[in-house]
Amino acid sequence: MIRRMTAVLGGIAAMAGVVTLAGTAEAASTPCSVEAKACVQRSTNTAWLTDGAGNVTHGGVPITVGLAKYPTPLGTFHVQYKDIDHYSKQFNGPMPYSVFFTNTGVAFHQGSLKVKSHGCVHLSHADAVTFYNSLHPGDVVQVVA
């Protein structure tokens, strides 16, 4: 009886492992090129971090992007600089954990996930901290439709 229980439990554990691996494989892709360390998909309001070789290290996470009047630009960019306590004089508001990736002031930063931005990528507090700590000047950021 004990051997049969062990075999059954071992079989259940093996099946659970298969389910976990299948879920992991699905989560490991982004719509961006493999060299992108950060990927943004505007149409799904989703962002990812990768190792720069196509392997997802964080995400997909929910985001908000720019209003139609101020769209988050499509394309491939590089992280310019970071500012943990940035304050936008232009839009009169805080931008905590900012990671700037365009030369026009577009950044990942902590912001509302319900309100669209003036072009930036809003992240939750926890995700903004992770993006801030993971991205560095020169890293590739890609924004796709």
Task: Give the chain's end-to-end CA distance (angstroms, integer).
Answer: 58
Indicate the pLDDT class of residue 19, thresholds 50, 70 and 90.
very low
CA distance 145 to 137: 24
- CA–CA dist 121, 48 (Å, integer): 12
At 49, the pLDDT band (50, 70, 90 cuts) reads: very high
Over the chain, what is the mean pLDDT?
86
Average pLDDT on 34-51 reads 98
Distances in Å between the Cα of 8 and the Cα atoms of 3, 20, 101, 117 are: 9, 18, 53, 53
Band the pLDDT of 14: cuts 50, 70, 90.
Answer: very low
List of residues 6+ apart from 82 with CB closer than 8 A:
98, 99, 100, 132, 135, 136, 137
- How many Å apart are CA 43 and CA 76, to the nearest integer? 17
pLDDT at res. 28: 62
Say which range, 23-27, 86-90, 119-123, 128-132, has the weakest mean pLDDT.
Answer: 23-27
Helices (H), 38-141: 125-134
pTM of the model: 0.81
Place of tokens 């149409």: 43
